Chain A
Amino acid sequence: DSGVTQTPKHLITATGQRVTLRCSPRSGDLSVYWYQQSLDQGLQFLIQYYNGEERAKGNILERFSAQQFPDLHSELNLSSLELGDSALYFCASSPQINTGELFFGEGSRLTVL
């Protein structure tokens, strides 16, 4: 158990819909990362937050947005969903920015029909 909690574990929805994925980082971790893993793809970095502030942005679509709340949990919002958005979405946390290790949650599997 990494200490990172992601909900929901599985989600099935239709094209055009909007979903919210939630992540609770390890206790004390200030940094939260979101990654997308599509079929046969590696982990694509989406976005990073540190202590409530956006720190770095990767290949995140404009239809996607995220935020980190004062209690340090984070949400990833995916809107106008397309079939290609079906993927595993991982959240990871780390104690600070310049650290070498990320602790991953078990992921949220999104299926868009």
Chain B
Amino acid sequence: DQQVKQNSPSLSVQEGRISILNCDYTNSMFDYFLWYKKYPAEGPTFLISISSIKDKNEDGRFTVFLNKSAKHLSLHIVPSQPGDSAVYFCAADLTGNQFYFGTGTSLTVIP
């Protein structure tokens, strides 16, 4: 039972443009959401998070949007850079007990 879904396995974007990565979840009890970035041969690294009481969180080029009514999360990267090419996982947390991860979206930023 996949409670967190990333329906786009891959995404290609031109350098300088916006990258939008999407994530859907099914459990309305999730109270914290995170995005992780993963390069080959490395473990995932934390990128940005958002609490369920907010609808937007921004950190530099990265912004996460949360739409609780739609159970939808998105990550915007503006402007996209070649170094952003990686696999991005969204994750949802149930009061710190378990983190449920999506299947990941592979982002390629074309120079």
Report which A residues bind B (CB closer than 8 A).
2, 4, 33, 35, 40-45, 48, 55-56, 58, 90, 92, 96-107
Contact = CB atoms under 8 A, between A and B. Distances in A.
Given A97-B96, A98-B96, A4 B103 contact: no
Interface residues of B, number: 28
Contacts of A48: 97-98
B25 interface: no
User: Dominant SS at the A interface?
Assistant: loop
Contact of A104 (B45, B96, B97): B45
A90 B99 contact: no
Contact of B43 (A41, A56, A97, A106): A106
A100 B50 CA distance: 9
A42 B103 CA distance: 4
B102 A103 contact: no
B99 A45 contact: yes
B104 A42 contact: yes
A99 B91 CA distance: 13
B101 A43 contact: yes
Interface string B11-47: 0000000000000000000001010100001111110
A39 to B, nearest CB: 11
B89 A42 contact: yes
